[in-house]
Amino acid sequence: MKTIDDLIAEGQVEGKRVFVRADLNVPLDGTTITDDGRIRAAVPTVARLAEAGATVIVASHLGRPKGAPDPKFSLAPVRDRLAELLGRQVFFGTDTVGDQTRQALDGAAAGDVVLLENLRFFPGETSKDDAERGAFADRLAALADTYVGDGFGAVHRKHASVYDLPARLPHAAGGLIATEVGVLRKLTEEVARPYAVVLGGSKVSDKLGVIDHLLEKADRILVGGGMVFTFLKAQGHEIGRSLLQEDQIPVVTEYLERARAKGVEFVLPVDVVGATSFPDLETKAPAEPVTAPVDAIPTDLIGLDIGPESRKLFAAKLADTATIFWNGPMGVFEHPDFADGTRAVAQALVDAPAFSVVGGGDSAAAVRILGFDENAFGHISTGGGASLEYLEGKTLPGLSALEN
């Protein structure tokens, strides 16, 4: 696929309006951004285009508004943070494709940046109807001369600004997408071994596709988080009141059997940390954690993290690797009593000689919340869902649109 280097060489940037589909879907506490990682990731491409003489139109979604304006999903706080990071004024198109936005663009000069209000305030952005989605893409295309796709966290969505808009304008991939795709190729096509995959999170059903695909590629698969209790149940263990997806036990059992047949090492925790009630994540009140081996989990225990012996085991299994992909926390890391497993895995990635990839989403948030230096990892992805779908071997609409 083309890159912004190609667009600059072809004269598609200087003096042009360049539409950048970024992923600025950051977590908010009211109007306070609690993790600005995705904004920081968008800055290099926006700055490069502005410095190359473009009027840069930046667009993104935020949250899940229901196809209409909703103040709690406004990108206004993002505009302020983007301006700080860029070190230049960012104008705001408050009606996205309306008169105010067009006036802002008419008054913009080369090097100016205009952020559009939330794309999902319009039903056409996410519509499953091709005509409705296409009509919204037409309105977006009327704002710009050129398109740059740089919102990796949205490329698995067949949305107007991601899939339909590139077909209407000269287009290329931004620096972030080029980097993300290059990293994912190292996890699928050019893998240095031993290759370990660490999976966590709450539901095993969210990871079935990636497990299925990676059984053909990985040397080791380590599983923690709430999803692990379905695996433990499949092995005949009592899991107390821990999260269980009982309907997935046959699938999990088949995966364990396939792993044995293929010589893929499946590593599960040997102990867990839990409590008799779910912890208060708002007050962070002490939760009286209990540690138990996996073959002696009390019937009233809710498993909330991997245990101390499991942390040592996981670290040992990652210590000699050449490639690591990690997606999903090992427990309820938002509470200090149940963050040690996730912290231990993050530290193991830092300590290992491997090229380490943190697969976006909660894993990336955990790295920041727990105070790790992002530069200590090989790569921290901006798109958890997109990364997983790529690793499942799926076609991502936003990438295919840029390749055409």
3-state secondary structure of 211: helix
In 3D space, the residue among 43, 17, 22, 7 whose CA is nearest the CA of residue 108 turns out to be 17
Round to whole Å and give the CA distance between 204 and 307.
Answer: 19
Cα 368-63-157 angle, rounded to 5 deg: 95
User: Among this protein's residues, is 151 annotated catalytic?
Assistant: no
121 burial (CB, 10 Å; 0-12 / 13-18 / 19+) is buried
- Among residues 17, 21, 38, 133, the one annotated as catalytic is 38
Sheet order of strands, 290-293 included? 290-293, 271-275, 302-306
Q: Could you write out the DSSP letters of every residue in 64-76?
A: ---SS--GGG-SH
Q: Tokens 């990682």, residue?
A: 37
- Among residues 88, 168, 186, 203, the one annotated as catalytic is 203
Is 334 annotated as a binding-site member? yes
Is 207 annotated as a binding-site member? yes
3-state secondary structure of 329: coil
Is 246 annotated as a binding-site member? no
Is 317 annotated as a binding-site member? no
Helices H / strands E in the chain, number of each:
14, 17
226 burial (CB, 10 Å; 0-12 / 13-18 / 19+) is buried
Is 134 annotated as a binding-site member? no
Is 130 annotated as a binding-site member? no
Is 362 annotated as a binding-site member? yes
Count other C-beta atoms under 10 Å from residue 368's C-beta: 15
| Contact by Cβ (8 Å): 268, 204 | no
- Among residues 361, 383, 384, 398, the one annotated as catalytic is 361
Cα 229-206-237 angle, rounded to 5 deg: 10
Question: For residue 222, what is the enclosing H or E element?
Answer: strand 220-223
User: Among this protein's residues, is 331 annotated catalytic?
Assistant: no
Is 360 annotated as a binding-site member? yes
Is 24 annotated as a binding-site member? yes
Is 139 annotated as a binding-site member? no
User: Among this protein's residues, is 361 annotated catalytic?
Assistant: yes
Cα dist. 211→36, 235, 264, 320, 392 in Å? 30, 17, 11, 21, 8
- Which residues make up each annotated binding site? 23-25, 38, 61-64, 120, 157, 207, 303, 334, 360-363
- Which residues make up each annotated binding site for (2R)-3-phosphoglycerate? 38, 120, 157
- Which residues make up each annotated binding site for ATP? 207, 303, 334, 360-363
- Which residues make up each annotated binding site for substrate? 23-25, 38, 61-64, 120, 157
Q: Which residues are catalytic?
A: 38, 203, 361, 385
